[in-house]
Amino acid sequence: MSCSALPYFRILATEFHEKADDEVCIWVEMTEPMVDSAFFGKMYLQALALLTAHRMKMAQLSQDMADGIQPIQSIAEDGGSVTYALNQSDIDSKEGSLKSTKYGQSFLEIRKTRIVGMII
């Protein structure tokens, strides 16, 4: 199985270091139809790796939430205030859930540069 985005994924998504290459490659393969190589050009493999990592992170968060674990972004010093990492308005926005992970945010940044052209 060819998985040319795997080296990019390994550099960009170190939190998934324990995932086997075969599993990551299946995620990459499922994500490939969502990323247009002509649109992203030289940034294609990076965009594919980032979107794959985003989808894997969202699947992990979804499983955690199903298990009753809420991702926490911050807790006040006195313990009286808790902010959860997923904001419903971000999820419902035009970009969907992409804003809710660092990988999705990086993917959006690359996509923005492709729309307006490279900034030098």
112 has pLDDT over 50: yes
- Residue pLDDT, tens place only, 51-110: 999 999 999 888 766 656 555 555 555 555 545 555 555 455 567 789 989 999 999 999
- Distance, CA of 7 to CA of 116 (rounded, Å): 27
pLDDT of amino acid 76: 55
pLDDT of amino acid 82: 44
pLDDT of amino acid 41: 94
- Domain edges within the chain: 6-116
1 has pLDDT over 80: no
DSSP 14-36: GGGTTS-HHHHHHHHHHHGGGS-
Hey, is 114 helix, strand or coil?
Answer: helix
The CA-atom distances, in angstroms, between 26 and each of 14, 17, 73, 102 are 17, 15, 30, 21
pLDDT of amino acid 62: 80
